[in-house]
Amino acid sequence: MFKKAVRWLNASPPRILLSGFALIILFGAELLRLPIASVSGSSMSFVDALFTATSATCVTGLVVLDTGTYFTTFGHWVILLLIQIGGIGFMTMATLFALILRRRISLKERLVLQESLNQGSIEGLVRLVRKVVFYALAVETVGALLYTFRFAADMSLGKAIYHGVFHSISIFNNAGFDLTGDFQSFFNYSEDIYMNVVSMGLIIVGGFGFVVLADLFDFRRRNKFSLHTRVVLSVSAGLIVIGTLVIFIFEFTNNRSIGSDGFGHKLLVSLFQSVTTRSGGVATVDVSEFRQATQFFMIILMFIGASPGSTGGGIKTTTFAVLVGAVFAMIRGKEDVVLFRHRLAQERVYKAVTVTLFCIGIVMLGTMLLATTEDAAFLKILFEVTSAFGTVGLSMGLTGDLTFAGKCTIIMLMFIGRLGPLTLTYALGPKPGRVLYRHSEGKIIIG
Amino acid sequence: MFKKAVRWLNASPPRILLSGFALIILFGAELLRLPIASVSGSSMSFVDALFTATSATCVTGLVVLDTGTYFTTFGHWVILLLIQIGGIGFMTMATLFALILRRRISLKERLVLQESLNQGSIEGLVRLVRKVVFYALAVETVGALLYTFRFAADMSLGKAIYHGVFHSISIFNNAGFDLTGDFQSFFNYSEDIYMNVVSMGLIIVGGFGFVVLADLFDFRRRNKFSLHTRVVLSVSAGLIVIGTLVIFIFEFTNNRSIGSDGFGHKLLVSLFQSVTTRSGGVATVDVSEFRQATQFFMIILMFIGASPGSTGGGIKTTTFAVLVGAVFAMIRGKEDVVLFRHRLAQERVYKAVTVTLFCIGIVMLGTMLLATTEDAAFLKILFEVTSAFGTVGLSMGLTGDLTFAGKCTIIMLMFIGRLGPLTLTYALGPKPGRVLYRHSEGKIIIG
Ligand SMILES: [K+]
Ligand SMILES: [K+]
C-alpha cells in the first residue's frame, strides 16, 4: 500500500502537482464567476476570475479587482480557501517530495522529523501531512487573534474577527490579499508598529518552510539546527537587513515616498518593505513612488524570494546561498562551494545555477511578451513580471491596466512561478540506470 | 627559455592582461589629452579622455565626444592605434591563452594549427602571434580597399582612403567608432547595400575569433570543421537570423524607425542591426526609436555577444550554446549536455553557467549604480550598461548625458566587460594539487 502510493507519486510528481493545481484554479475561477461572489451581483469575465483564482492559489496577491470592495463574503471565502490550498497544500506537497520521495536531505535532518515520518508506512505520510497542517493552523490562529485585537479598535468585533482571520491566512500564506479596499493594501498602517510586527512575523514564519519550522519547534530538545535551517535563517536575516538598509538609504531623501517622514518611520517602512518584497506582497507604502534604483533592487529581492517548501516564491534563499557560495568559490579559485563549513555536492551547485538561469530566462521571456502587449514603462513591466513569477504580489500599478493578452501572460507567470523552481529542481534530479548511450566528449572554448 | 615564458604567463595571465590593458588605456588617455588631439586645440577633461581611450582599447564604441568632429587626425590615429592593440592584441593574447597555456581545445583542433604552433619552442609562440596579426591585417586591408571604393564616390581620394582605413580597422575590430560626425554612425548608409554588406562582413569575420578563422582558411585542405568552429558558425548564423526576424517583426509597423520604409529596406535594416548588436556597434538607424520590446531583445543579443578570442564582447556564442544545451538537457531529463553529438564535460558546463550568472550580476550591479547616479528611463540605463559590458557601443542616447560618476561606472564596465569573461573563465580553471583539505559534504534543499 505504501509502496504503491510512493510509486504513484514518484512516477511523475511534477505532472501531478501541475494538473492538481490547474484543476483547483479552474474550479476556483468558476466559483468566483458565480453572481453571488461579486457585490454587483453580475458574473465577472472569465479571464478576471481566472486571474483572481490563479493569484490566490499561487499565493501571489496581484489583483485586477479590489478584493475588499468587489467581492462578497462568499467571494472572500472562496479566495481564502484557494489561498489555504495553495499555501498549506503546496507546503505539504513540497515537504513530502523533499523529505520522503527525493531523500534530498541528510540523515541528520531526517532524524529531526523521525517520529512524525516513521518511514515505510502510509501512517507516516499521513502523520507528516497532519503535522504540517497543524503547524500552519497554529500560526494562523495566533495571527488571527493578534489581528483581531487590533482591528477591534477600528470596527465591530464581528467584522474584526472576519478581517483578522482573512488577513492572518492571507499574510501567513504570503498571499498578499487584503480587505482594506481601493487597492490600498496596508498603506494606512505604515506607522502602526503592532500591525507591522504581526504582519512581518507572519510573512517571515510563512516563508521559512516546514522543515525549518519543525526544526525551530524542536530546537529545545536537540539544541542544534540542521545545515538547511542555518542557511535559511542566516540568508533570510541577511536579506532582510540588507534590503532594509538599501531601501532606507535610497529613499531617505525621496519626498514622494518616505523622504518627509521621521527617522523611525522611515526605518519601519524600509524594514516592512524589505520583508514583504521577498514574497509577502502586502505593502505599507506605494512602491510605484520609489526611485528606479530601489525598484530595481526590489525586483532582485522578489526574484530571490522565500525558502523552499514555504508559502513564498522566487528561486529560494537556499538557491541564492549556493549562488553566492559559487561566486565566492570562483573568486577565491576554490573548487568546492562551502556553506557553514559544509561542502556542497558539485551536482547540487550545478542544479542551483541552472535553475536560476532558467528562471531568469522565464522572467526575460515574460518581460518580452508584456513589452509587446502593454504600453508601459519598461521597469514597470519588469517589476510586474518578476512579482508574478516570484508570487510576490507587489505592483507598480500595471495590474489594473493589463490588456487581455497581458492578463494571460501574468496568469501563466504566476502558475509557472509557483510550480517552476520546485518541479524544475525535481526534474533535474538524477535518474539512475537510464543512460543507455553517451556521446564522446567534445571540447569548445568558453568565455 | 620557452618553459620560463610559459611559467611567467601561467603564473597569473589575468593579472598580466589586466595591468597591460590598464597601462595602455592610461597612456592612450594622456595622448588624447594633448592639445594637438582635439580640433579646438585645448586639452579635454581627464575623464573624457579616459572614457575615449577605454572605449577604443576595449573596442566598445561608446563615445562622449563625436570622433569625426572633435578629434584631429592625430587624435584619430591614437584612437585607431588603441583599437588595433585592443582588438588584435587581445585576440592574440586570448588565442595564446586558449591554445597554448590552457590546452582547452582538443587534439584534433590543435592539429589544425600544428605548423604554426610547433609546441615546445619559443618560435612557435612567435609564429602564432604573427599568424593572428597576418589574418587580421589581411582582412583589414581588404576592408579598407572596399570602403575606399565606396567613399571615393563621396569625397576626395585622399580622404576616401583615410576614411576607408579608419572604418575598416574600427569595424573589423568591432570597435564601432566612426568619422561620419554628429554621432550619426552609419545612418546615412541604411539603404546602401554595398556598405551594409562590407560592414556586416567585417563585423562577422571579426567576431569569429582566430581559431575559427584559422579553421576556415584551412578548410579546403582538411574538409572538416572542428567542433568549436561548427558551434561558433551555427550559433552566429542562428542568432543573426533570429535577431533579424525579431527586429523585423517588432519594428514592422513602428513609424519612428522602419515602419514607413519599403519591405527590402526594412529587412536590410533589421539584418544589419541584428549583426551589429552582437558587438559591432555601428548602427544604420537610431535604436532609441525602436520599441521597448525590440530594445530589450537587443539587450539580450548584446549580452550574448560574439565568439571567444575575437574582437567582440559579451558572454560569447559558445557559452550561449552551452546554456541552451543545458536547458535542453534539463527539459529532456538528460544528464549530458550534447552539442553536435559531442558531450561536454560537466565541469565545463558548470563553468559556462557560473560565468554567465556572474556576468548577469555585474550588469545588475552596474544598472543599480547608474540608476542612482543618472536621471533616465530604466531601459535606457540597462541598454547602456549592457552595451558597455558587451563592448557593443550602441546607445539609446545616454552616453552624452552621463554624469561624472556615470562615466566612471561605464569606464569600469567596458574594462570588466572586455577582460571579464576570459579572465573569469581562466580563473575558473582547475588548479590541481592545491586542495589540502575538503569540508564534509552537507545537504540543503534547493528550489
Ligand atoms: K505573495
Ligand atoms: K563594439
Task: Over range A320-332, report the average pLDDT.
Answer: 83
B447 touches chain A (CB under 8 A): yes
Give, in order, the Cα–Cα distances in Å from A263 to each of A192, A252, A267.
15, 9, 6
- Judged on CB neighbours under 10 Å (0-12, 13-18, 19+), B394 is buried
Task: Tell me if B231 is assigned to some domain.
Answer: yes
A141-167 confidence digits (pLDDT tens): 999 999 999 988 888 999 999 999 999
CA of B387 to the centre of ligand 2 (A): 8
Per-residue burial over A68-86, b if 16 or more Cβ lie within 10 Å, else e, is bebbbeebbebbbbbbbbb
- Say whether A71 sits in a helix, a strand or coil: strand
B10 touches chain A (CB under 8 A): no
- Whether the pLDDT of residue B29 is over 50: the answer is yes
Q: Read out DSSP for A385-400?
A: HHHHHTT----SS-GG
Least confident window among A231-235, B125-129, B151-155: B125-129
- Whether the pLDDT of residue A118 is over 50: the answer is no
Task: Tell me if B1 is assigned to some domain.
Answer: no
Task: Tell me if B432 is assigned to some domain.
Answer: no
- The Cα B132–Cα B129 span in angstroms is 5
Task: Over range B358-373, report the average pLDDT.
Answer: 92
- Whether the pLDDT of residue B23 is over 70: the answer is yes
The residue with greater pLDDT, B142 or A41, is: B142
Q: Kindly report the CA angle at B311 between B307 and B316, in degrees rounded to 5?
A: 25
Backbone φ/ψ region at A177: left (φ over 0), alpha (ψ -120 to 50), beta: beta
Which of the four pLDDT bands, split at 50, 70 and 90, describes residue A235?
very high
Residues 187-226 of A with CB under 8 A from B: 209, 211
Residue A38's DSSP bridge partners are A71
Flag if B227 and A444 touch (Cβ within 8 Å). Answer: yes
- The Cα B116–Cα B125 span in angstroms is 8
Instruction: Please state the φ and ψ torsions of residue B154, each to the nearest 5 degrees.
Output: -105, -20
Flag if B106 and A443 touch (Cβ within 8 Å). Answer: yes
Task: Over range A401-428, report the average pLDDT.
Answer: 82
Task: Tell me if A113 is assigned to some domain.
Answer: yes
The residue with greater pLDDT, B180 or B252, is: B252
Number of domains in chain B: 1
- Structural domain that includes position B247: 9-427
Task: Give the mean pLDDT of chain B.
Answer: 82
CA of A321 to the centre of ligand 1 (A): 21
- The Cα A231–Cα A317 span in angstroms is 8
CA of A401 to the centre of ligand 1 (A): 20
Q: What is the pLDDT of residue A87?
A: 83
B344: enclosing H helix or E strand: strand B342-344
Whether the Cβ atoms of residue A384 and residue A298 lie closer than 8 Å to each other:
no
- Could you tell me which chain A residue has the CA closest to the CA of B351? A446
Widest Cα–Cα separation across chain A: 74
- Note the ipTM here: 0.85
Per-residue burial over A159-190, b if 16 or more Cβ lie within 10 Å, else e, is ebbbbbbbbbbbbbbbbbbbbbeebebbeebb
- The pairs formed by A258-262 with CB atoms below 8 angstroms and a separation of 24 or more are A258/A285
- Whether the pLDDT of residue B54 is over 90: the answer is yes
Flag if B227 and A442 touch (Cβ within 8 Å). Answer: yes
Whether the Cβ atoms of residue A29 and residue A414 lie closer than 8 Å to each other:
no
Task: Tell me if B445 is assigned to some domain.
Answer: no
A350-398 confidence digits (pLDDT tens): 878 888 888 999 999 999 999 999 999 999 999 999 999 999 999 998 9
Helix count and strand count (H, E) for chain A: 20, 2
Amino acid at B130: R
Q: What is the pLDDT of residue A310?
A: 82
A83-101 confidence digits (pLDDT tens): 998 887 776 766 666 555 5
Nearest-CA distance A430 → chain B (Å): 7
Task: Tell me if A447 is assigned to some domain.
Answer: no
Q: What is the pLDDT of residue A350?
A: 81
Give, in order, the Cα–Cα distances in Å from B21 to each of B78, B279, B345, B417.
15, 19, 32, 12
C-alpha cell at A205: 514564519
Q: What is the pLDDT of residue A438?
A: 57
- Whether the pLDDT of residue B313 is over 70: the answer is yes
B78-105 confidence digits (pLDDT tens): 999 999 988 877 767 666 665 555 444 4
Instruction: Please state the φ and ψ torsions of residue B342, each to the nearest 5 degrees.
Output: -120, 130
Task: Tell me if A339 is assigned to some domain.
Answer: yes
Query: Which listed ligand is nearest to A394 at the C-alpha?
Result: 1
Whether the Cβ atoms of residue A284 and residue A272 lie closer than 8 Å to each other:
yes
- The Cα B286–Cα B273 span in angstroms is 10
- The Cα B226–Cα B204 span in angstroms is 19
Q: What is the pLDDT of residue A117?
A: 36
For residue A358, give the nearest of B309, B330, B341 by CB distance.
B330
Task: Tell me if A329 is assigned to some domain.
Answer: yes
C-alpha cell at A233: 535563517
